[in-house]
Amino acid sequence: MQAANVVIRPYRTDDAPHMARLYYDAVHGLGRRAYSATQVAAWAPAPLQPIDVLNRAADGRTTFVAADASDQAVAYVDLEADGHVDHLYCHPDFAGQGVASRLLETVVRQALEQGLAVLYVEASELARPVFERHGFTVTARRDFEVRGVPIHNYAMRRELT
Ligand SMILES: CC(C)(COP(=O)(O)OP(=O)(O)OC[C@H]1O[C@@H](n2cnc3c(N)ncnc32)[C@H](O)[C@@H]1OP(=O)(O)O)[C@@H](O)C(=O)NCCC(=O)NCCS
């Protein structure tokens, strides 16, 4: 799908069902580029519940959505109040066209507006290069378990000046 018509806008509550589904589709459609089938299954055993998306988005974080021509969420990112970037997910149909990159540009602008000094994230193997292009550097590789399955990601941070 073409990302040319994709626009970045603030999250709305009616995005929740689409985000719940696209989280799962992103992990299963793209995760296998860097992680095993077992790891991907442990990362996202099932789609999120829309209520979980609604609750997360209402906990003080700022969420931005990339919406397609029919205004449906195809990617999203969220920024917690302390500068932690939590989720960054893009539907496979829209991957590799700079959509996540545009979401990160929006997060950086938002963080500067909030007066944050630092952004930090635990980035997947897939997300690491995207964050690196936006000035984040790796501070540590994190090896841990999800649902009993060993997996890894990278602690990354960017100072904001
Ligand atoms: C990580 C993720 C969000 C990136 O989404 P994306 O929209 O494909 O990211 P981008 O398009 O901005 O960048 C991805 C690649 O597309 C390329 N790209 C960027 N802009 C582009 C454009 N305009 N046209 C074509 N390709 C482009 C980039 O060079 C990049 O390649 P690289 O990774 O080899 O450097 C997505 O892969 C995903 O959802 N993965 C599964 C879940 C996940 O890992 N989430 C992160 C948890 S921290």
Domains in the chain (CATH in brackets) are 7-116 (3.40.630.30)
30-52 pLDDT tens trace: 999 999 999 999 999 999 999 99
> Tell me: the pLDDT tens digits for 67-82?
999 999 999 999 999 9
Q: Considering only CA atoms, which residue is closest to atom 22 of ligand 1?
A: 97
Band the pLDDT of 3: cuts 50, 70, 90: confident
Pairing of strands 118-123, 62-67: unpaired
CB-CB contact of 87 with 48 (8 Å): no
Instruction: Compute φ and ψ for 50, nearest 5 degrees.
Output: -50, -35
pTM to 2 decimals?
Answer: 0.96
pLDDT tens sequence across 114-123: 999 999 999 9
How many A from CA of 77 to the centre of ligand 1? Answer: 13
**Ligand 1, CB cutoff 6 Å, lining residues:** 26-27, 30-31, 75, 88-90, 95-101, 123-124, 126-127, 129-130
